[in-house]
Every structure is written in C-alpha cells, then in structure tokens.
Amino acid sequence: MLEKTYLSSPFGCWEIQGSELGISRVQLTEKTSCPEEPVPQALQDGVRQLEEYFRGERREFDLKLDFGRAPDFNVAVWKQLLQVPYGHTTSYLAIAEALNNPASVRAVGQANAHNPIAIIVPCHRCIAKSGDLQGYFYGLDMKRALLELENPASFARQGTLF
C-alpha cells in the first residue's frame, strides 16, 4: 500500500511516498509548512536518511527505490545518476555516453526532468558539459543550493569585496 509523509528541510517541505517496495517519490511541495503527522513505518528510513542528508551528515543513501512503471530508458538514466558521488557532478552527455547512446543527451535531460525521487536520485548533480548549471525542475537556485550543501568549496556563491 502506498503511504505518504512530509519532511521539513532548509529547502522547503518535501512529500515522500513509498511502500514496502521502496521509496517511490520525493518531491518538493508548495506548502509553507509541512503537516506534522506520524511517519509510516515504510517511510521511516527514508525520512531519517533525508534528514541526515539535509544536515550534511549523510553522503550516500541506503534505501530501496521503487520506480514503478517508468520507462526503461528513464530508469537506466536514474540508475546512472545513483553512481554520481556526493559532492561531484556529471554531465548529461556523460550519462548518455555511459548508456552507450551519446545522441540521447536530450532524452537524458528529459529523464532528469521526470525523476520522481528527487535528492535520493541526485539529478541535481547533472550539469551541462560546459560546467554550467542547466535544467532543474525546482530552478537553478535550488540546484546550486543543493550542490553547495554537498560541496561548498566548488559551488558556493562568490561574495563581493566592495
């Protein structure tokens, strides 16, 4: 049975869904505050690990994931994203090449855009081959903030001297 809960973070309120098959959805909501309710048993590990991630204490997730009936190509992209280490980035082209299909770079971008399990499947770590931040469903400011959380030395915003 699909269950749902919410998690408050420095980035906003996240809705988490899943079942005994695994986490199937982590999405930022438009809620200004998260509903406070008991966390279903099937989602407790996911909530705990996401809390640790947002506190900067977790670098890898150890959770069952349920991609449901997603297209095989999307699942292949998401599995490649799971290989990108904390604090590092990859490019859409590198993922396409890892799938032995360099011409699929735009399809990789579309798979990222349809990633139902944000943060845990780290599509925020995928950037343009030029190094520019591109395409994140929560906007580039959120993408930068998540990358900064993971690697402040490389992604922190530069201040001004004057």
Q: Let me know: does 89 contact 51? Beta carbons within 8 Å.
A: no
Q: What percent of the chain has pLDDT over 90?
A: 78
Question: What integer pLDDT is reported at residue 157 of this predicted model?
Answer: 53
Structure token pair of residue 73:
């190509």
Mean pLDDT of the chain: 91
Question: What integer pLDDT is reported at residue 94 of this predicted model?
Answer: 96
Give the pLDDT band (50/70/90) at residue 154: low
Which DSSP string do the residues of 80-95 spell out, in sequence order?
HHTTSPTT--EEHHHH
Instruction: State the burial class of residue 79 (Cβ atoms within 10 Å of its Cβ: 0-12, 13-18, 19+).
Output: middle
How far apart CA 144 and CA 139 sit, in angstroms, is 9
**Res. 137: pLDDT tops 80:** no
Q: What percent of the chain has pLDDT over 70?
A: 94
**Res. 159: pLDDT tops 60:** no
Instruction: Return the axis-axis angle of helices 72-81 and 105-113, rounded to nearest 10°.
Output: 80
The residue annotated as part of the active site, out of 13, 34, 123, 126, is 123
User: Does the annotation mark 123 as catalytic?
Assistant: yes
